[in-house]
């Protein structure tokens, strides 16, 4: 096998690889910041806070029920 031919096309292959990765990066940024997906990603980003609020509200509800139960005894 003649490695000199591979060495000759190596810069061209690296150039195509760089171009392909750049196009993939632009596509990923376009996909992530697209307007259609904004609401979905915002809901996912805030979902962690929703779970905490649900836990806090259920914990405070239990506390109020405990107090009400304690008053009955």
What's 73's DSSP letter?
-
- Using pLDDT thresholds of 50, 70 and 90, give the confidence band for residue 5: confident
Judged by DSSP in three states, 33 sits in coil
How long a stretch of residues is the chain?
Answer: 73
Whole-structure pTM value: 0.53
Q: How does DSSP assign 8-59, residue by residue?
A: HHHHHHHHHHHHHHHHHHHHHHHHHT-HHHHHHHHHHHHHHHHHHHHHHHHH
Most confident residue range from 48-52, 56-60, 68-72: 48-52
The answer, yes or no, to whether residue 71 has pLDDT greater than 60, is no
Separation of alpha carbons 48 and 40, rounded Å: 14
Separation of alpha carbons 25 and 19, rounded Å: 10
Domain boundaries defined on the chain = 1-36, 37-72
More confident residue, 60 or 30: 30
Average pLDDT over residues 28-41: 92
């Amino acid at each position: 096998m003649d490695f000199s031919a591979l060495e000759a096309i190596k810069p061209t292959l690296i150039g195509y690889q760089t171009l392909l990765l750049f196009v993939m990066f632009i596509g990923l940024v376009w996909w992530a910041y697209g307007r259609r997906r904004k609401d979905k990603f915002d809901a996912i980003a805030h979902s962690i806070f929703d779970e905490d609020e649900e836990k806090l509200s259920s914990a405070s509800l239990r506390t109020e029920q405990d107090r009400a139960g304690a008053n009955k005894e």
